[in-house]
Structure 1
Amino acid sequence: MKKNRALFLTAVASGTMLNPLNSSMIALALHSIQKDFHLSFSTVSWLISSFYLASAVAQPVTGKIGDIFGRKKTFLTGLILVALSALGAPLASTFLMLLIMRLFQSIGSSAIYPSGMALIRDHIKDRQASALAVLSIFASAMVALGPTIGGFLIVLGNWPAIFWVNFPFIILSFLLGWYMFPKDIKQDKSHMKELFSHLDFLGIGFFAAGMVFFLWFLLSFEEKIHYL
């Protein structure tokens, strides 16, 4: 049982750490990306802003989607999205393509966290607090170590390396999750419709659009605010 518990936690932790890891590594890669794509700093900084904005929108939404379609499916789908971004970002020929891959990375890694928390809550009853503490430790460690890891990777393989580094964690989390996570309970259609009705898609859209335009407004200032 202890072995199963350790493998279960490893599957969840190696997946949930992807969001804080990728949010912190990108800072050191901005200069290289800016130089390769010939961008201004305000433009390249959208790689950071869009990641946090997508995470803010995606985490509560994907948490509810996990309730509807199942936590295991949502967790593994999030890993697949991060894998697609890790594969597509280094091959991006334009900044727009790179930004889209970054959004995939953000949405995928944001889907993993609430699903992972729910999986632990539902299937680990013994010393549950310590299990949740493991996730917090992993997340905090990745935020702290992300810039250092990113610096080494950029020296070794330039900015694409900060995307490639995701693959070992994705593979480990996916394989362990596939075998260790119990199958999702199939929901009946009426219950799924009821859960879907609780999602405020219009409000989500207005919030996302408002934040995008607000960030766009702030990033449009070159030096300072001109009142007149």
Structure 2
Amino acid sequence: MTFLLRVNKHEAPPDRFDRRLLPAMMLSSALNPVNSSIISVSLVPIGVAFGASASETAWLVSALYLATAVGQPVVGRLVDLYGPRWIYLGGTMLAGLAGLLGVLAPQFWVLVLARVVLGFGTCAGYPASMYLIRSEADRTGKGSPAGVLTALAVANQTVTVIGPTLGGLLIHVGGWRTTFAVNIPLALACLVLGARRIPKVVVAQRSTLSSLDFPGIGLFTGMLVALLIFLMKPQVAHWYLPVIALLTGIGLIIREMRIAQPFLDVRVLGGNLPLVATFLRNLLACMVLYCYLYGFTQWLEQGRGLSAAGAGLVLLPMSLTAIGVSTLTGRRPEIRAKLLVGSLGQVLVAVVLLTLHSGSAIWLLVVGSMIMGIPQGLNTLANQNALYLQADPTRIGSSAGLLRTSTYFGAIGAAAAGGAFLSSGSSGAGLPSLAGFMLVSSVALVLLTTLDRSLARLGRSQ
């Protein structure tokens, strides 16, 4: 390891994880999921306030996804190069400023800008947390701190659960601007916790700002932006977007293979196929999950005739089950077994969705929701733990960022699938097509997990 020398007045016990880091880690890594979920209940009142159409307010969602998908690995690389403290503090300051910008926004485009800034600001928490977990494991000499990794996963799942409920309460109390204002106290809390708890570090191979691979970052950004915009609304008329993504991707590979300190070390990724497989598994798992969250929720309201509140109650058992499953299985080292059970659970959910119709009993919907909670809890935790063990320790921040990027690719792919298959409106005729798409993706996840023999060794190495 080349990166960590702790500089702290009060050193933690040499053989135990410094649990004083946990509040700062959990709160900052949850900033992104809470802003991803809280906006769902804000879109309608924001559209009314500014006279914006549904297609326009959708950019409030897309702007955060784009900024986060691009920013996570970039900010993660900065964490690897400069340590977590200042990147963490700078990111939370951006999140607080974005909240203030949203509160004061006089026009709709300013809100979109606030969401972009918010996306970049919330990029720091997760890579910084994974960096700290790795550095604490090296300091204590105790490989994988399963309990800490579980706490991080459960914190993110819990925030995703309460996001829409919190948003609804805030809007009821103070209007839609409160869903932006909530970032101000959260950012202040992160700043205080970060300044007090996150240690200063000396990076043995610290780079100067001028040595950063800006051309590589630019090519990576161009590739992702072109691909993500196409996936948000795929059309034949937008054929040039995947072409741009392909050309910039080729340019990125050529560039990164020719320099000594690349932003994205394609040689390392090419030689670490198990890590690449983890990114792909995470993408597939998240695509199925978000198909359920976005598409199935839409069907519940349009095809099954439930209210928004009723649809939320149907989905609640999924989230509660996911938290319980993560908590119960978090300390167990098996990664392959968790992924197999999780992927098979998604297959089962897709089969259940194929049987549903407008008259399906509520209890059947609730049972399906509970089943979906099992893969949500297992897949998220297993992929996170796999990345922790597979990634190059000196690039743990950027690797964690890429894992989050694969999550957003899955979410955007799910949104595109929902738009394509559920365009038939209230008839609900598109649900079987969406369920079939989920089934194919789930089977692909089963096969990818089954064929990856490295996962068995990985579980034993924890």
Confirm or deny a common fold (TM above 0.5).
yes
In the alignment, the residues of structure 2 paired with residue 89 and residue 155 of structure 1 have an alpha-carbon distance, to the nearest angstrom, of: 17
Q: Which residue of 2 aligns with 1:201?
A: 218
Which of 179, 195, 199 is the equivalent residue of 1:162? 179
Q: Deviations over 1:8-58 (max 9, x none)?
A: 100111111111111000010001100111011001111011211221111
Residues 97-106 or 161-170, more deviating: 161-170
Q: Which residue of 2 aligns with 1:89?
A: 102
* Residue 157 (structure 1) shift: 0.7
Question: Given that residues 61 and 199 in structure 1 are in contact (C-alpha distance below 8 angstroms), is that contact kept between their aligned partners in structure 2?
Answer: no
Residues 190-199 or 145-154, more deviating: 190-199
Q: Summarize the Cα distance change of 1:50–1:190 in structure 2 as closer, same or farther, 3 Å threshold.
A: closer
Residues 199-208 or 103-112, more deviating: 199-208
Which of 67, 89, 108 is the equivalent residue of 1:54? 67
**Matches for 1:32-71 after TM superposition, within 5 Å:** 32-71=45-84
TM-score, normalization: structure 1? 0.86
Q: Which residue of 1 aligns with 2:18?
A: 5
In the alignment, the residues of structure 2 paired with residue 190 and residue 21 of structure 1 have an alpha-carbon distance, to the nearest angstrom, of: 33
Which of 48, 51, 75 is the equivalent residue of 2:88? 75
* Residue 217 (structure 1) shift: 5.6
In the alignment, the residues of structure 2 paired with residue 116 and residue 153 of structure 1 have an alpha-carbon distance, to the nearest angstrom, of: 28
Does residue 110 in structure 1 map to residue 123 in structure 2?
A: yes
TM-score, normalization: structure 2? 0.44
Residues 158-167 or 208-217, more deviating: 208-217
In the alignment, the residues of structure 2 paired with residue 24 and residue 114 of structure 1 have an alpha-carbon distance, to the nearest angstrom, of: 20
Does residue 180 in structure 1 map to residue 197 in structure 2?
A: yes
* Residue 101 (structure 1) shift: 0.7
Question: Given that residues 38 and 164 in structure 2 are in contact (C-alpha distance below 8 angstroms), is that contact kept between their aligned partners in structure 1?
Answer: yes
Q: Deviations over 1:64-115 (max 9, x none)?
A: 1111222111111110110000111110111111101111111111222111
In the alignment, the residues of structure 2 paired with residue 122 and residue 186 of structure 1 have an alpha-carbon distance, to the nearest angstrom, of: 12
Unaligned runs of 5+ residues in structure 1 are: none
Q: Deviations over 1:110-150 (max 9, x none)?
A: 22211121112213545722112111111000111101111
Task: Please say which structure displays the higher CA radius of gyration.
Answer: 2
In the alignment, the residues of structure 1 paired with residue 52 and residue 19 of structure 2 have an alpha-carbon distance, to the nearest angstrom, of: 45
Question: Given that residues 79 and 174 in structure 1 are in contact (C-alpha distance below 8 angstroms), is that contact kept between their aligned partners in structure 2?
Answer: yes
Q: Which residue of 2 aligns with 1:18?
A: 31
Q: SS state of the match for residue 61, structure 1?
A: helix
Does residue 136 in structure 1 map to residue 153 in structure 2?
A: yes
How well do the aligned residues superpose, as a CA RMSD in angstroms?
2.8
Question: Given that residues 80 and 108 in structure 1 are in contact (C-alpha distance below 8 angstroms), is that contact kept between their aligned partners in structure 2?
Answer: yes
Q: Summarize the Cα distance change of 1:174–1:43 in structure 2 as closer, same or farther, 3 Å threshold.
A: same
In the alignment, the residues of structure 2 paired with residue 89 and residue 217 of structure 1 have an alpha-carbon distance, to the nearest angstrom, of: 29
In the alignment, the residues of structure 1 paired with residue 154 and residue 147 of structure 2 have an alpha-carbon distance, to the nearest angstrom, of: 10
In the alignment, the residues of structure 2 paired with residue 85 and residue 197 of structure 1 have an alpha-carbon distance, to the nearest angstrom, of: 25
Q: SS state of the match for residue 118, structure 2?
A: helix
Unaligned runs of 5+ residues in structure 2 are: 1-11, 236-415, 425-462
In the alignment, the residues of structure 2 paired with residue 71 and residue 146 of structure 1 have an alpha-carbon distance, to the nearest angstrom, of: 26
Amino acid at match of 1:77: G
Relative contact order higher in (CA < 8 Å, ≥ 6 apart): 1
